[in-house]
Amino acid sequence: MTALTEQRARLGLKRFGTPFAVVVVLAVLFLWLGSLTLDSIEERTLNTSYLVERTQEHLILTVASSALVALLAIPAGIAAYRVRSKAVRAFVIGLGNIGQATPAVGVVILLAIVWQTGFFTALISLVAYCFLPVLRNTLTGLEQVDQATREAARGMGMTPRQVLWRIELPLASPVILAGLRTALVFSVGVATIATFINAGGLGDMIVNGLKLQRYPVIVVGAVLVAAIAVLIDWAAGLVEDLVRPRGL
């Protein structure tokens, strides 16, 4: 009994410790901000409507790109798995390695140079950047499903399609979700860089603060973006726990 309640308490701490810490940090940040006397430059950015707008831009960029990645990369991963070709597999894995080696800032800036600056460029480069890890996780997640389990399902008369939907995808889901979670956290970071190509977001505050030598602006921008990243990672972890098939 006591062990159970203790375990529950620990689980609660694990589950809600993170958002609690984030709230505390944000509270401290705004208390500190309230105690400062801001000059006109600082006032231009450190007001509610500006902060809300930047945060919105940041979130839209992050969520939209992650949703697009999920829509594109997971089916692509399934397709790559189902063709069962060594060449396709090697290609995907190799591309994934190169993608991992590519600096995000390079992708964003290159695309802005060859195409245009702005929100859509940022969105496309985010999708391009996060596509490969999710694709790779989908492929490896499906491959990791135990051969015996697959064989048992086939032996009971399931069609390959049924095996995919009822057995392989549920069993691969933790790995696929982990890939999506990584993509989400990536997106928050890369969306910060979007400021370089005039796509808005909280990166604006960081860059402006650095340019204008206004420490409070940098701190608020950086802490807000960090808080978003931590919270999104936490929320994704929660979803992972909830969606994971029982027994895994």
Partner 1 sequence: MSGSLDVFLARRWEDLVMLTLQHLAVVALSLAIATVLGVLIGLLVWDRNVPRTAALTAAGIAITIPSLALLALLSPVLGLGWAPTVVSLVFYSLLPIVRNTVVGLREVPAHLVESARGMGMTPVKTLLSIQLPLAWPVIVTGIRVAAQLTVGIAAIAAYVAGPGLGLYIFKGLSSLGSANALNFALTGTICVVLLALLIDGAFVLIARYSTSRGLRV
Near partner 1 by CB under 8 A: residue from 33, 63, 109, 128: 109
Nearer to partner 1 by Cβ, of 134 and 223: the residue is: 223
Q: Is the dihedral of CA 147, 149, 150, 152 positive or negative?
A: positive
Near partner 1 by CB under 8 A: residue from 31, 98, 148, 242: 98
Q: What's the Rg (C-alpha) of the chain?
A: 22
- The span from the CA of 117 to the CA of 173, in Å, is 36
Instruction: Name 105's Cβ contacts closer than 8 Å, sequence gap at least 6.
Output: 193, 196
Q: What is the per-residue binding string for partner 1 in 11-50, x denoting contact by CB under 8 A?
A: ---x---x--------------------------------
Q: Shortest approach of partner 1 to residue 91 CB, angstroms?
A: 16
184 and 206 Cβ atoms separated by less than 8 Å: no
Nearer to partner 1 by Cβ, of 163 and 193: the residue is: 193
Q: Shortest approach of partner 1 to residue 125 CB, angstroms?
A: 12
Interaction of residue 209 with partner 1, rule CB under 8 A: yes
Near partner 1 by CB under 8 A: residue from 70, 183, 197, 199: 197
| Residues in region 47-66 near partner 1 by CB under 8 A | none
- The span from the CA of 219 to the CA of 171, in Å, is 43
| DSSP labels, 166-190 | IIIHHHHHHHHHHHHHHHHHHHHHH
- The span from the CA of 62 to the CA of 192, in Å, is 10
User: Rounded to 10 degrees, what is the CA torsion of 107, 109, 112, 117?
Assistant: 120
| Residues in region 112-171 near partner 1 by CB under 8 A | 112-114, 117
Nearer to partner 1 by Cβ, of 171 and 185: the residue is: 185
Residues that bind partner 1 (CB under 8 A): 14, 18, 97-98, 100-107, 109-110, 112-114, 117, 185, 188-189, 192-193, 196-197, 203, 206, 209-210, 215, 218-219, 221-223, 225-226, 229-230, 232-233
